[in-house]
Chains A and B, each alone.
Chain A
């Protein structure tokens, strides 16, 4: 009989359902097959013209019915698709989930397609005044809904029968991990015995791409798209903008066992620490990321020598990969050179608000399958970053514990520690 309480006396939180969508496909099966064969989902952008753009590749999800319908619709469909897979796997009623919903999703804005169509629907006055005047004559709420920050979660709450006021959150590129953390904490507080945590991002619009491009954050290696995302490589030159979603059904281990659910993994601990240095850059000594990793280990009740594998944030930007190496080598010391550390983003790009949830899903599968997905495009190692990145080919390995890192603009640092088995 497993312990039902952790080292701090809190209910142990199990994962009983996992769902995922990335540019590699819909569902765990297709994603895992592609991920473990080192396949890249990065491809040329076709959703909008690429004239004037320095970056013309992405990991957009182009194969869903909503892929061309704007960020709000696609984000909803990504979230729904992953959540449906997770809830089904958990064996729970998919229209009466009965626990709270935590959704990590991108900030919303009125899509340009709607701006153009509203604006050009008449000719009086100009600029924003015309938009406002046209807006108040609208008879349908479709466009309005895409501009409300709570609407996607509201729809998901209806769809899955989640309980209470759903929380929509953003901690930038750490959002997906924060959604999981909120679910874990709610169960630990005893507020619920299950929670649905989703990270979804379908916001790879032209404007989003241009915004990141203006901040010099994106790779411009357009010629061979599959080669553009190359975390920890010397010639890495930015991340690849991508879309996707990950969903977890979280349950107290006690409730999961009581109903005979299959335990897919355990959420052992979460840690976070905000950085006060700069809006886009990390404190040069890496102390906030270091503190976040250490907080996650402490929360999990694990020592530095008890992590088997690190699912890296590994964005492929010069800054992130250098700082992630600095923080990991500070925490894990000499052992860092022999610990496997791989970046899923080498294949799927950076799914932004979804990344933490997608990568938690892959971390759990890594443990269950005893296979570590590789860091692909590792042809030109950065000599300043000495890591075992599981280069280019998957590796069979027993993995009992994983640290998954998520770092974001605005000083966001969130780390999750997962385990294969209850203690």
Chain B
């Protein structure tokens, strides 16, 4: 089974790109499936099903979505094998711009759109920087110049990636992407493989459900901003160590 991780900011067109691309593989007689990761809600699974794509969804709920992803990815691969898929795609949104679900030796795709602003390639960090293929969407509604500027910015952040333009509505460019998905190595398991980039660090009192504000309630991995305030103004004080708190 071939396994591809697809990530990208919310509403960048991941689902549309995946459906259009898998359509070409389906036409070639391949069995395809998607595991959709999201936070609170998604009905994209219906969309996939409608297009004859086998699908499972995972909602992270209160958990960090990417920690949730990495804790479940091996099981997803095993599900794909059980379903006899030729190609399995994982779809996840890089919600805090700090995450990246990409795994070493597994084809990593990042989807980003022309409307998201020219500084976005710099902002979204690891999920773009560590990708093998960068798909730029929504090119049909911006000028040629903006497309060129945007692609140049992507190139500055990740000069090794292959950059493709795909239109999620008409499917332009998706055939070309599908050829890249069919030439990759097969994967039996991701157990023992490593993430390309570490996940965002956490584990403070808020991770565990704390809702009150103030230093007295902050424990664990907490960091304070330096607001350069003159001395004498009351600040909240530093974080409390896990050990010293009562």
Do the two chains bind? no
Q: Interface of B with A (CB < 8 Å)?
A: none
Give residues in A with beta carbon < 8 Å to B: none
